[in-house]
Amino acid sequence: MEWVWTNFGLIWGLTLSQVWLSALPIVIGFVVSIPLGYLASRSRVARSILLSVGGILYTIPSLALFIVIPVVIGTSLLDPINVIIALTIYAVAIMVRSSADAFASVPGSVQDSATAVGFSRAQRFFAVDFPLSGPVLLAGIRVVSVSTVSLVSVGSVIGVSSLGFLFTDGFQRRFYTEIWAGIVGTLVVAAVFDIALVLIGRALMPWNRRATPNLARIVGSKRSLVLRK
């Protein structure tokens, strides 16, 4: 344990690296998967294409992507951007399915009533579909967040600095403390991200305190929407 305190600078630096390398893919992945998921929820064809492509992308082993991406886009093999792009691809692959399901879970009756009241397509998306799909989107992004944080460590195999360094270095030196420091650090980062996401979700979706919102509550909050307009 002493080792952890003595080398806290190193651990902290690696942790920040991990945070940066995970946060970007999570955010970009989320943003990219929203329109794709919406498309998939609207059209059967789009859904099967997008989900199949997503499925294929997800099975590509991370190491393979880290190696092939620099060749394809011409960056240096050591550039962290390769890891970010690869993780974004995984994030989108996982998230598209979630967001497709999320948008599909919005009750048709609510969408119809929104149109009846006079919302345009765009207004309906932002005022109805997006907020109502929130809970499922949140669940999806939490899964993406957790797996992205854990995947970042694989980058250490090609020298992209993160907590993964503690695994390879600790292994060579038969230094259990170092490896455990890395494992715990990764779990802590994943936990912090998860808490942040839950808090953001609570702030943005005050009506959704229960795991599954029931219809009455949705209708109730919709009323306030309609009146405000």
Partner 1 sequence: MNLFIEGFGWIFDPKHWVGGSSIAVRLGEHFQYTGVSLFFAALIAVPLGLFIGHTGKGRGIAIAASNVARALPTLGLLAVLILSLGIGLLPAAIVLVILGIPPLLAGVYAGIESVDPQTVDAARAMGMTELQILRKVEVPLGASLIFGGFRAATLQVIASAVVAAYFSLGGLGRFLVDGLAQNNYPEMVAGAILVIVVALAVDGILAIIQRFVVPTVSSGTRSTKRTARGGAIPPVAQSRTLIKEGQ
Partner 2 sequence: MFNTKKKVLAIAGVATVAALALAGCSSSSSLSGGSGSSAKESIVVGSANFSENTILAQIYGQALADGGYKVSYKPNIGARAVYFPALEKGTVDLIPEYSGSILSFLDKSAVATSPTDVNAALEKALPSTVVAYKSAEAADSDSLNVTSEFAKAHSLVSIGDLKKAGPITLAANPEFETRPDGLPALKSLYGLDNVTFQAINDSGGPATLKALLDNTVQVADIYSTTPSIEENKLVTLTDPKNQFASQQVIPLVYKSKASSKLGDVLNKVSAKLTTKDLLALNAEVSGDKKTQQDVAAKDWLKSAGLVK
Contact 81, 71 (CB under 8 A): no
Q: From residue 91, how far is each of 2, 70, 81, 145 by CA, in Å?
A: 37, 19, 15, 8
Burial label, 155 (beta-carbon count in 10 A; 0-12, 13-18, 19+): buried
Q: What is the closest distance, in whole angstroms, from the C-beta atom of residue 124 to partner 1 in the complex? A: 14
Q: What is the closest distance, in whole angstroms, from the C-beta atom of residue 138 to partner 1 in the complex? A: 13
The CA distance from 86 to 214, in Å, is 38
146 binds partner 1 (CB under 8 A): yes
Cβ-based nearer residue to partner 2, 97 or 156: 156
Q: Report the candidate in 1, 25, 137 with the shortest Cα–Cα distance to residue 90.
A: 25
13 binds partner 2 (CB under 8 A): yes
Q: What is the closest distance, in whole angstroms, from the C-beta atom of residue 198 to partner 2 in the complex? A: 10
Query: Which range touches partner 1 (CB under 8 A), out of 25-33, 115-123, 143-151, 200-208?
Result: 143-151
> Which are the contacts of 218, defined by CB distance < 8 A and separation ≥ 6?
107, 110, 132, 207
Residues at the contact surface with partner 1, assessed by CB under 8 A: 55-56, 58-61, 63-65, 67-68, 71-72, 104, 106-109, 142-143, 146-147, 149-150, 153-154, 156-158, 163-164, 166-168, 170-171, 174, 176, 179-180, 182-183, 186-187, 190-191, 194, 212, 214-215
